[in-house]
Amino acid sequence: MPDQSPISSVNDFVVRFANVNGSGSASANELFARSILRHGVPVSPRNIFPSNIQGLPTWYEVRVTEAGHLGARGGVDMMVAMNPQTWDKDVASIEPGGYLFYDSTKPMPSSKFRSDITVIGVPLTAITNSTYTDPRQRQLFKNIIYLGALCALLDMDPKLIEQLIGEQYKTKEKLLSSNVHALHLGRDWALQNLKCPIGLQVKKSDKVGDRIFMEGNSAAALGAVYGGATVCAWYPITPSSSVAEAFTSHCKKLRHDPKTGKAKYAIVQGEDELASIGIVIGASWNGARAFTATSGPGISLMTEFIGLSYFAEIPAVIMNIQRAGPSTGMPTRTQQCDIIACAYASHGDTKHVLLFPEDPAEAFEFAAQSFDLADRLQTTIFLMLDLDIGMNHRLCRPLKWDDGRQYDRGKVMTAAMLDEPGRDFGRYLDVDGDGIPYRTYPGTHPTKGSFFTRGTSRDRYARYSEEGAIYADNMQRLVRKFETAQDLVPRPLQANAAKPTKYGVIYFGSTAPAMDEAIGLLEARGHQLDRMRIRAFPFHSSVASFIADHDFVYVVEQNRDAQLRQLIVNENGIDPVRLVPILHYDGTPITARFIANAIGDHQDHLKVTPLRKAVS
Amino acid sequence: MTYIAKPKFHHPGLKKNDLGYTHRDYEGKISTLCAGCGHDSITASIIEACFELSIEPHRVAKISGIGCSSKTPDYFLGNSHGFNSVHGRMPSVLTGANLANRDLIYLGVSGDGDSASIGFGQFAHSIRRGVNMTYIVENNGVYGLTKGQFSATADRGSKSKKGVMNTDNAIDLVAIALQLGASFVARSFSGDKTQLVPLIAAAIRHKGASFIDVISPCIAFNNHAGSTKSFDYVREHNDAVNRLDVLTGRDPITVDYSPGTVQVVEQHDGTRLALRKIDADYDASDRLAAMTFLQKHAAKGQVVTGLLYVDPDAEDLHTHLDTVETPLNKLEAEDLCPGSAALEKINASLR
């Protein structure tokens, strides 16, 4: 018996699986997460994986959360320790009173355990080897056997897992029955040999509703399908590759001409990121909707083209699935570290539109919208995801599409328009005062509307010019255009604290679920915060007024240099003292505990020393 | 200067093509290149080829990178859309444009710095993908706009204007294009318009990746003794393997060829290419032989010109991607958006 009373919790705990990369554990672990969802209990799973194909340690963490807290929690209540390499660290990370599940086939010295946790040994290798002879089967079914044991230990309904296996192997009867068999091997062994259930339990609930369980990258790719993207050019880079792969598989199902079977899309794996963005810009220039997906190093490579897109005014959509930088950084760890790099990408005076979805549902919506924005604004639109949203399954509201919605192709002059009497076409002529000129697609009209696109300075009629006044006129129009963008991009969402407060918090993107949960933790500590979730750059005017309405505002982000805060200070002329950075940047997803501690400690400090004294 | 308007006046008796257009309809702005620049002769040849083929000028998209050569698309086909893009990146921009609308004619104009140095990778990959385009490199072996540095196509042992010897090996873009599977490969000389015009015309009519390397002496920085890209040097070492006549329409071949000296190749669109052999042994349908021939002659310091290789049955990138016949940029929301019912099914599969 452990010298600490075992944790007892229903539908609120964290299980972490420690596996070896490439051992086939991923699908069993995902099955575990999904089966809890089928109990009507929300889960928030996260892959913690190395930049490696086989052999290195990998973890899969499932937060079981009836309350629906979808951010990472921190801490582990039950460790499924399947990797000897990381054993010591894994055992050490278990919360006092927690549980250790391990393969007990080979005896372990007692020094390898802790006295304050419950140790659950199941001879997985022995059970597997006595049942299967094929080495590959042994490896794969071992994963399903531990799933079966967990089913008994956590008091899960095996029928729900069987149902999921049935859906997965609908057409493969042999795989179906063998998986179900393995599941019961593990479950039966646990029921016969262990005290089941333990303190951690899953009970049926109804907190999932109609929500869906999806990865952000797949959702963004689906948004591109719905948004009318026809050209995708990309270069493999973690954690963005699954965007292009998902776009490919969505298109295969949704975008073939029913009569001819031909593709209504073109996907090219470029030779590098330069070619990928070049293809996107060429296609967009020629009137197709095109996008690329990449991550930090790819953004660095694309910057020359991004400047061209800004200056020559060519639509482009870039999905940046951020990972920890700089340089190669931590390719499989999450961060929000490319805010400045994207907002001001390229040499010279440039500014770009950024969208910050919080989850897969918003990634879908913003991805579709980004093509309208790119066409309307004739410039690059960045869809800023990160690894945490992109590569993890996230519970989110169902995707929605309004069938009456039309694509906004922006200001495109047609042959008929060019023929209208008195019509004056100047490619860079600001006819409407919104800074957005008309463009024509190549091949539109035999004698009218052609122009020469260039990255060099030119006048309103696209004629080459190095005249200072002409150059400045164009640069000023681009500023007007960026101001127009402010009201076209998704607005920030604001939520006020239960009681009036002098303090606010600004956050964005994947921080959202942790922030929502942190608000509750802070309230419990007696701290009230109004909050604003920024969803796009350029910032809507409400951002400046939100800051003005509070004594000061915390800016929570996942990078070292407080990049969003820098951008707010720079673009809105805010006194930096009014924005307190709360920064998490170790590559793990930000947690509610972290935010609540950082803000709570700062607030507690304020209670001791009045603000006036602290700053003076 | 581009801001000086060309006079619109033209002689009423100017020759018209099948569309009723004159040469003037294929011209662009006034060139800003040096007087006597080989590139201007290539511009003239492009104009001539498009005129002869009776191409609607606005159905051509002309795309370039950065450099002297890349400026030239402003000087021809004034009614076409042009795109002077990023240094070395014409091939990717052209690839994207081509994917968006398979119905236009794509003319990529580049230089040796643009294609053999900074854009060597993009050159290679656009060729190996079989993008349906005419890719012209205006090759002068030198960086003109930055005043005379060697480019990667400068021959080893050739001298710069300042007298510096080039010690690096040269990249032969024609040899590389052949190796990478270009389905139409030619080399010509800007000073030989009679050879160049039909080559451009045939390349435009070719479905697939057409590549033409045009040696085009730089009058300002690479036309001196010791250069292997000067007018004099190229004239002396030009080894043309064939002369080409492009025959469009159904007219019978009436040109009087001596028997056994003509190789006729029919391309996908019905264009027939009559190759008058100068070198009796040269077979333009044999890729491997072409590569060997080139290497042997290059070793002797000869510049092999003519239509070096053609595969009339080539496929292009759209064939490989199996895209719909309608240009992708003409597809509307109803063609592209799967709608809410499909989305409901997707939602259901994610629960």
Interchain pair B86, A308: CB under 8 A: yes
* % chain B with pLDDT above 90: 84
Q: Are strands A353-355 and A380-386 parallel, antiparallel or unpaired?
A: parallel
Contacts of B316 (CB under 8 A, 6+ apart): B130, B131, B132, B207, B208, B209
Shortest Cα distance, chain B CAs vs residue A463, angstroms? 7
> Model confidence at B251, in pLDDT bands (50, 70, 90)?
low
Interchain pair A285, B96: CB under 8 A: yes
Q: Is the Cβ–Cβ distance between A266 and A224 less than 8 Å?
A: no
Q: Does A465 touch chain B (CB under 8 A)?
A: yes
Residue B118 has a CB neighbour count (10 Å cut-off) of 19
> Model confidence at B1, in pLDDT bands (50, 70, 90)?
very low
Per-residue pLDDT of A31-82, as tens digits, reads 999 999 999 999 999 999 888 877 889 999 999 999 999 999 999 999 999 9
CATH topology of domain B23-347: Rossmann fold (3.40.50)
**From A208, A286, A455, residue closest to B97, measured CB to CB:** A286
| Rounded Cα–Cα distance for residues A509 and B189 (Å) | 57
Shortest Cα distance, chain B CAs vs residue A105, angstroms? 36
Facing residues of A120 across strands? Answer: A101
| Residues of chain A neighbouring B82 (CB-CB closer than 8 A) | 450-453
* pLDDT for B123: 98
**From B63, B95, B324, residue closest to A262, measured CB to CB:** B324
Tokens of A483: 């101001």
Interchain pair B322, A263: CB under 8 A: yes
Does the pTM surpass 0.80? The reply is: yes
Residue carrying structure tokens 């918090």: A505
Q: How far is CA A112 from CA A56, A75, A337, in A?
A: 21, 20, 39
Direct distance between the N- and C-terminal alpha carbons of chain B, in angstroms, rounded to an integer: 65
| Rounded Cα–Cα distance for residues A234 and A242 (Å) | 11
Classify domain A9-201 by CATH number.
3.40.920.10
Shortest Cα distance, chain A CAs vs residue B170, angstroms? 23
Q: A362-373 as b/e, with b when 16 or more CB fall inside 10 Å? A: bbbbbbbbbbbb
| C-alpha neighbours within 13 Å on the C-beta side of residue A304 | 14
Q: Which amino acid makes up residue A439? A: R
Per-residue pLDDT of A524-568, as tens digits, reads 999 999 999 999 999 999 999 999 999 999 999 999 999 999 999
**Which residues 215-274 of A have a C-beta within 8 angstroms of B?**
222, 225-226, 228, 230-231, 233, 254-255, 257, 260-268, 270-272, 274
The residue extents of the domains of chain B are 23-347
| Rounded Cα–Cα distance for residues A217 and A223 (Å) | 10
Q: Does A445 touch chain B (CB under 8 A)?
A: yes
Closest Cα in chain A to B94: A282
The conformation of residue A601, written as its DSSP 8-state character, comes to H
* pLDDT for A423: 94
Interchain pair A278, B335: CB under 8 A: no
Per-residue pLDDT of A296-353, as tens digits, reads 999 999 999 999 999 999 999 999 999 999 999 999 999 999 999 999 999 999 999 9
Tokens of B77: 């086909």
Residue carrying structure tokens 């012209």: B136
Average pLDDT over chain A reads 96
| Rounded Cα–Cα distance for residues B255 and B274 (Å) | 9
| Rounded Cα–Cα distance for residues A531 and A519 (Å) | 9
| Cα–Cα–Cα angle for B324, B327, B328, rounded to 5 degrees | 80
Interchain pair A262, B63: CB under 8 A: no
Q: Does A87 touch chain B (CB under 8 A)?
A: no
Per-residue pLDDT of B11-70, as tens digits, reads 888 899 999 999 999 999 999 999 999 999 999 999 999 999 999 999 999 999 999 999
Tokens of B38: 């080989």
Note the residue count of chain B.
351
Position B2 pLDDT exceeds 50: no
| Rounded Cα–Cα distance for residues A229 and A241 (Å) | 17
Interchain pair B328, A230: CB under 8 A: yes
**From B57, B96, B338, residue closest to A278, measured CB to CB:** B96
**Does the domain spanning A214-396 belong to CATH 3.40.50.970?**
yes
| Residues of chain B neighbouring A465 (CB-CB closer than 8 A) | 3
| Residues of chain B neighbouring A404 (CB-CB closer than 8 A) | none
Facing residues of A552 across strands? Answer: A503
Average pLDDT over chain B reads 93
| Residues of chain B neighbouring A457 (CB-CB closer than 8 A) | none
Facing residues of B304 across strands? Answer: B239
Give the pLDDT mean for B128-152.
95
Position A267 pLDDT exceeds 60: yes
Give the pLDDT mean for B144-172.
94
Give the pLDDT mean for A392-417.
97
ipTM over 0.85: yes
Q: Does A454 touch chain B (CB under 8 A)?
A: yes
Q: A433-449 as b/e, with b when 16 or more CB fall inside 10 Å? A: ebbbbbbbbbbbbbebb
**From A214, A285, A455, residue closest to B350, measured CB to CB:** A214
Tokens of A134: 């094929």
Of A386, A409, A272, the residue nearest A337 (C-alpha): A386
| C-alpha neighbours within 13 Å on the C-beta side of residue A161 | 32
Q: Does A171 touch chain B (CB under 8 A)?
A: no
| Residues of chain A neighbouring B351 (CB-CB closer than 8 A) | 37, 208, 210-213
| Residues of chain A neighbouring B22 (CB-CB closer than 8 A) | none
Shortest Cα distance, chain B CAs vs residue A446, angstroms? 5
* DSSP-derived secondary structure for A304-327: HHHHHHHHHT--EEEEEEE-B-ST
Position A613 pLDDT exceeds 70: no
Contacts of A268 (CB under 8 A, 6+ apart): A231, A232, A233, A234, A276, A279, B95, B99, B129, B317, B321
Position B4 pLDDT exceeds 70: no
Interchain pair A274, B89: CB under 8 A: yes
Residue A185 has a CB neighbour count (10 Å cut-off) of 21
Q: Is the Cβ–Cβ distance between B72 and A460 less than 8 Å?
A: no
Q: Which burial class, exposed, middle or buried, applies to A526 when counting CB atoms under 10 A from its CB (0-12, 13-18, 19+)?
A: exposed
Which DSSP helix (H) or strand (E) runs through A519?
helix A512-524
Interchain pair A284, B96: CB under 8 A: yes
Residue carrying structure tokens 């500023």: A479
A9-201 and A214-396 share one CATH topology?
A: no
| Residues of chain B neighbouring A445 (CB-CB closer than 8 A) | 58
* pLDDT for B258: 64
**From A290, A304, A447, residue closest to B96, measured CB to CB:** A290
The residue extents of the domains of chain A are 9-201, 214-396, 411-489, 493-615
| Residues of chain B neighbouring A214 (CB-CB closer than 8 A) | 350
* Region at A401 (left for phi over 0; alpha for psi -120 to 50; beta for the rest): beta
Give the pLDDT mean for A188-217.
98
Mutate to test the interface with B, among A218, A230, A359, A396 (most CBs of B within 10 A): A230
Direct distance between the N- and C-terminal alpha carbons of chain A, in angstroms, rounded to an integer: 56
Q: Does A308 touch chain B (CB under 8 A)?
A: yes
**Does the domain spanning A493-615 belong to CATH 3.50.50.60?**
no
Per-residue pLDDT of A440-454, as tens digits, reads 999 999 999 999 999
The 3-state DSSP class for residue A201 equals strand
Q: Does A563 touch chain B (CB under 8 A)?
A: no
3-state helix, strand, coil in chain A (%, to 5): 40, 20, 40
Question: No. of H helices and E strands in chain A?
Answer: 20, 23
Mutate to test the interface with A, among B58, B115, B321, B332 (most CBs of A within 10 A): B58
Of A550, A558, A557, the residue nearest A530 (C-alpha): A550
Give the pLDDT mean for A379-397.
98
Q: Does A466 touch chain B (CB under 8 A)?
A: no
Interchain pair A271, B125: CB under 8 A: yes
Question: Can you list the positions of beta strands (E) in A138-201?
Answer: 200-201
Q: Alpha-carbon Rg of chain A, whole angstroms?
A: 27
Mutate to test the interface with B, among A253, A273, A286 (most CBs of B within 10 A): A286
